[in-house]
Amino acid sequence: MKILLLGKNGQVGQALQRTLAPLGELVALDRSQGSDGLCGDLSQPECLAATIRQLRPDVIVNAAAYTAVDKAESEPEQAWRINAHAPEVLAHEAEALGAWLVHYSTDYVFNGSGTEPWQETDPTAPLNVYGQSKLEGELRVQAACTQYLIFRTSWVYAVHGSNFAKTMLKLAQERERLTVIDDQWGAPTGAELIASVTAATLQKVTAKEDAKQDANHDANLKEIAGIYHLVAAGETHWHAYASHVISQAKVLRPDMPWAVREIAAVPSSAFVTAAQRPPNSRLNTHKLQAAFGISLPDWQQGVDSLLAEILIEKHT
Ligand code: NDP
């Protein structure tokens, strides 16, 4: 199986390099054009399409995205180019090749009302440009190809890259008092979890594809293609998440110069941001668990592993 991974240097992209490599021949690209002429730049659709036609992958995994949520408000064309138009190009190419397309989307496709975890079938109504561009990407992928998996995730973190947990670790060493919002709910989700679930689902999908003796094989594949919510189990808000990160960090490394004495809970209105964010980002993952027989760990488990890796393993 030949797999083309786009966005190899992002949080999820880096984790995918590890989990996809054992599945077959992996070609991992970033936005730069290599001397071999291969191009993974999502803002250059013609070049991207030519690369796919040259490589003829069995699976395309798109971990690249325009992820600067606030900046997207002032750069909507760029956000739409990367998050909506490029996935459509990938989907057309996947369809022409009979390949699978794996694509990632976001909790920000919802408006965040209520307190119930969102199901895949719930109505979307993004509050910001980033969410609108990601939703458009979902719709275009669904319209252009049949063999696709779209994973909506939330609050992603990894050892590499910038994310909330790493920012809290830094601020806890610089400031005595932190203020963190407590009215946006969701589940912090590790890039490692997303990457390992992606690999597990691809294994199932391609195993089904190999089972040519199965008379219902085309129908099965069509049933499995779709949107899935992929987040860690449990729920929290940003203030509780920050408190967990900092208290765990202090336990793991009492010797470090922790300056923070108080983590104050504040409403979202205390911070003015260019993009509005949904208060309820809880995602219901029953569909993913039932379709692929996957169980998802509590969010604290992955966060604790991240902290151990950042604070202990990197220092030994
Ligand atoms: P990152 O921001 O860590 O990585 C995004 C990657 O996309 C970067 O490597 C970036 O490259 C690359 N990229 C941006 N523009 C282009 C381009 N024109 N051509 C090629 N590559 C490009 O994102 P995550 O790994 O966190 O996100 C993975 C997926 O999950 C995305 O689809 C995102 O929308 C989704 N998601 C993320 C959430 C989060 O909290 N981060 C929450 C919900 C969903 P470069 O390094 O060169 O800039």
Q: How many CA atoms lie within 13 A of 196 on its CB side?
A: 11
Among 85, 100, 90, 133, CA closest to 1: 100
Report the range of poorest mean pLDDT among 21-35, 43-57, 232-246, 282-296: 21-35
- Identify the pLDDT of residue 94: 98
Mean pLDDT (whole number) for 97-119: 97
Atom of ligand 1 nearest to the CA of 8: 9
Mean pLDDT, rounded, for 213-235: 80
Q: What is the percentage of the chain residues whose pLDDT exceeds 90?
A: 89
Q: What is the mean pLDDT of residues 29-42?
A: 87
Contact by Cβ (8 Å): 146, 234:
no
Determine if ligand 1 sits within 6 Å of the CB of residue 190. no
pLDDT bracket for residue 34 (50, 70, 90): confident
Tens digits of per-residue pLDDT, 109-150?
999 999 999 999 999 999 999 999 999 999 999 999 999 999
Query: Where is pLDDT greater, at 315 or 255?
Result: 255
- Please tell me the distance from the alpha carbon of residue 251 to that of residue 315, in angstroms, as a whole number: 15
Q: Is 130 a catalytic residue?
A: yes
SS (H, E, C) the chain: CEEEEECCCCHHHHHHHHHHHHHCEEEEECCCECCCCCECCCCCHHHHHHHHHHHCCCEEEECCCCCCCCHHHCCHHHHHHHHHHHHHHHHHHHHHHCCEEEEEEEHHHCCCCCCCCECCCCCCCCCCHHHHHHHHHHHHHHHHCCCEEEEEECCEECCCCCCHHHHHHHHHHHCCEEEEECCCEECCEEHHHHHHHHHHHHHHHHHHHHCCCCCCHHHHHHHHCEEEECCCECCEEHHHHHHHHHHHHHHHCCCCCCCCCEEEEECHHHCCCCCCCCCECCECCHHHHHHHCCCCCEHHHHHHHHHHHHHCHHHC
Confidence of residue 213 (pLDDT cuts 50, 70, 90): low
Task: Look at residue 36 in the predicted model and tell me its pLDDT.
Answer: 80
The answer on pLDDT for 207 being more than 90 is no
Cβ neighbors of 150 (< 8 A, separation 6 or more) are 102, 103, 104, 105, 138, 141, 142, 226, 227, 228
Q: Provide the percentage of residues in the chain whose pLDDT is more than 70.
A: 95
Q: Is 155 in the pocket of ligand 1 (CB under 6 A)?
A: yes
Residue 263 has pLDDT above 80, yes or no: yes
Ligand 1 contact, 31 CB (< 6 A): yes
Q: Residue 163: which of 315, 11, 9 has the closest Cα? A: 11
Confidence of residue 208 (pLDDT cuts 50, 70, 90): low
Contact 55, 31 (CB under 8 A): no
Active-site residue, from 66, 104, 108, 130: 130
Q: Is the CB of 156 under 6 A from ligand 1?
A: yes
- Reported as a single tens digit per residue, the pLDDT across 174-191 is 999 999 999 999 999 999
What mean pLDDT do residues 228-234 have? 98
For residues 67 and 82, give the distance between their C-alpha atoms in angstroms, rounded to a whole number: 10
Average pLDDT for the chain? 94
Q: Among candidates 4, 17, 2, which has minimal Cα distance to 192?
A: 17
- The answer on pLDDT for 250 being more than 70 is yes
- Regarding the beta carbon of 186 and ligand 1, being less than 6 Å apart is answered no
Residue 218 pLDDT class (50, 70, 90 cuts): low
| Pocket residue to mutate for ligand 1, from 51, 67, 230, most atoms within 8 A of Cβ | 67
Could you give phi then psi for residue 132, rounded to 5 degrees? -65, -40
Measured CA to CA, the distance from residue 25 to residue 90 in angstroms comes to 19
Residue nearest to atom 39 of ligand 1 (CA): 156
pLDDT of residue 37: 82
How far apart (Å, rounded) are the C-alpha atoms in residues 292 and 16? 18
Q: What is the pLDDT of residue 287?
A: 97
**Spatial separation of the C-alpha atoms in residues 257 and 273, rounded to whole Å:** 30
Q: Cα angle vertex 153, ends 152, 156, to 5°?
A: 155
CA–centroid distance, 8 to ligand 1, in Å, is 9
